[in-house]
Structure 1
């Protein structure tokens, strides 16, 4: 049975191996350049973490970094759609599963062997891919000091995503009993679960740390920003991002000593000349008079208000990696249990 499963999966495995070799070729060809450029940027900056040379290094390599990261992001969904969904659905569609079951092989053993073969290749493939990309991106990640920004492209969690996607595709294939619908549903389902876990489940791994920063009159602005599809918020005070390297910022609010947020009424009474046009202006230098008004405004507000920040420090990175891997491992086990249960009850 194992030889049959290997023979059926051989073409897919070779395709995946070729893809992995292509990624490895790109990674190996460019890693030396990244390391050299990163070392030069760090020498130029010394101990200054805000040195422009580091930002320039990260920005200049952003297109390649984005492309490599995208490969890691989409691989689990592709595994779920092209390996998981057809694993049983195609056999049921074509009726070939009945031939196997007449050879004294139980349904449970048949599925267990197929799942073992494909699951093993999934772990090896995504594990090697994540290992390669994590090693390749180390100079960029160190320079960017934003480990949570690429959290789902590094280390352990891509393996968890891939196993979950495989189990989701398998289960949906058993439900629909049709390959193409199962593939489409797998893509959508994997995306939905990924978003849900990142939004609501991942933050539960640890209680955020809290700190506060004084308002900086020299770097605080006023305006509004957002996605037009989600709605642009009202103009408000815009302090600079908190200086917390490698931290995951959960919230950053301007509050007074009792924790009450800065209201529009208080802002208007303290800074009546700011934002009369709604905030924001065309690109270009800010007039000196406006800059001075803003500076004085923030200085007055800073006597009462501060920037309160809730964040996850960078040293909790592996806590979150193991937490999220465990979440997806649990979902995978549940989906596989459902698949075996459904196959035993409904068969082909």
Structure 2
């Protein structure tokens, strides 16, 4: 292993100070080997992250310039949503970002160990002086670092781009996956979880193509489960009226996410909106009196809870990621070839 990772040699003719400086600027040991082996994927992530971040930052400036004509950063005048030139682009960019965790899991996570196990590289590494644990932790650590840095930069830029229009539901609502999963810590947390899930699948199946297919299914299941559980992280707020079922529904704050709207009875029970519908006016009043309907109940989640929901969800995903990483290292310590 030392012959693979040595930097420079005595015949190079470099001065001792130059050689020392050269060593300081280069990766060495297992880190150099991991980078060398996966440099194409790493450079793709890094360059892609830089380009995406630059494009988003540029588009954000265009959005702000447009909104300044409607009163930004204060309250925006009515009608700005119908002519905003970059809002449609915001949605166009957000949709492919939702697939980024899936792509990372399939094309980086699954082959990370499966390819080495299939082609025998893992067996070769195990014959060197480097321990299996160091080899595994270096692979996982370097890959996680690059994925984390790249996705965090893109997510931060996307959050910054979307924030001036966060009070509007016209193009993108904060509770939609196109915003919620691509902003704050969520893009990074989802990417790391699918990454390590793909690595674990590759370690168990030991075949690269099969691991990529199974990881695809795993990543899709993660996205579906997360979509159904995302809003359960909030503490919903309920507002009610007691002016009868013919009274207007209570108004929610701007950009609030509506959980449920129901009729409220005198006993505090909730009835669905289909209750007493499709009846004549007299029959509707009789039905309301019979069921003791006194008003409306609206349950919602304010946009102010978005950040806390994201950090709670990211904490859960990162805890699961740490558990998967521990499983990979413990299993690899006993048997990886």
TM-score of the pair, normalised by structure 2: 0.77
Q: Specify the alignment match of 1:314 in structure 2.
A: 303
Are residues 104 and 122 of structure 1, via their aligned partners in 2, closer, same or farther at CA, if it must alter by over 3 Å?
same
Determine helix, strand or coil for the equivalent of 1:266.
Answer: coil
Candidates 249, 253, 274, aligned match of 2:262: 253
Contact 2:53 2:153 in 1 (8 A): no
What is the correspondence of 1:219-238 to structure 2 with a 5 Å cutoff? none
Supply the distance in 2 between the matched residues of 1:21 and 1:12 (Cα, whole angstroms).
Answer: 14
Q: Specify the alignment match of 1:205 in structure 2.
A: 233
Are residues 72 and 268 of structure 1, via their aligned partners in 2, closer, same or farther at CA, if it must alter by over 3 Å?
closer
Candidates 111, 116, 119, aligned match of 1:86: 111
TM-score of the pair, normalised by structure 1: 0.75
Supply the distance in 1 between the matched residues of 2:99 and 2:272 (Cα, whole angstroms).
Answer: 41
Matched, 1:244 2:262: no
Are residues 47 and 256 of structure 1, via their aligned partners in 2, closer, same or farther at CA, if it must alter by over 3 Å?
farther
Matched, 1:148 2:175: yes
Supply the distance in 2 between the matched residues of 1:321 and 1:244 (Cα, whole angstroms).
Answer: 20
Supply the distance in 2 between the matched residues of 1:310 and 1:137 (Cα, whole angstroms).
Answer: 25
Are residues 272 and 39 of structure 1, via their aligned partners in 2, closer, same or farther at CA, if it must alter by over 3 Å?
farther
Say what the alpha-carbon RMSD is for the aligned residues.
3.2
Contact 1:38 1:143 in 2 (8 A): no
Determine helix, strand or coil for the equivalent of 1:267.
Answer: coil
Matched, 1:5 2:34: yes
Candidates 210, 214, 235, aligned match of 1:181: 210
Determine helix, strand or coil for the equivalent of 1:251.
Answer: strand
Supply the distance in 1 between the matched residues of 2:282 and 2:215 (Cα, whole angstroms).
Answer: 54
Contact 1:163 1:332 in 2 (8 A): yes
Q: Specify the alignment match of 2:318 in structure 1.
A: 329
Shift of 1:42: 3.9
Supply the distance in 2 between the matched residues of 1:40 and 1:12 (Cα, whole angstroms).
Answer: 43
Deviations 1:70-94 (A, max 9, x none): 2431222111111111110000111
Shift of 1:170: 0.4
Candidates 266, 269, 275, aligned match of 2:276: 266
Candidates 36, 39, 51, aligned match of 2:65: 36
Structure 1, unaligned stretches of length 5 or more? 221-238, 275-295
Q: Specify the alignment match of 1:55 in structure 2.
A: 81
Deviations 1:139-167 (A, max 9, x none): 23244494333211111111111110111
Supply the distance in 1 between the matched residues of 2:275 and 2:138 (Cα, whole angstroms).
Answer: 67
Are residues 113 and 269 of structure 1, via their aligned partners in 2, closer, same or farther at CA, if it must alter by over 3 Å?
same
Q: Specify the alignment match of 1:291 in structure 2.
A: none
Structure 2, unaligned stretches of length 5 or more? 1-29
Supply the distance in 1 between the matched residues of 2:154 and 2:193 (Cα, whole angstroms).
Answer: 17
Contact 1:167 1:332 in 2 (8 A): yes
Contact 1:253 1:309 in 2 (8 A): yes
Shift of 1:252: 1.8
Q: Specify the alignment match of 2:21 in structure 1.
A: none
Deviations 1:163-190 (A, max 9, x none): 1011101011011111122122222212
Contact 2:244 2:293 in 1 (8 A): no
Contact 2:101 2:190 in 1 (8 A): yes
Determine helix, strand or coil for the equivalent of 2:204.
Answer: helix
Supply the distance in 1 between the matched residues of 2:65 and 2:165 (Cα, whole angstroms).
Answer: 11
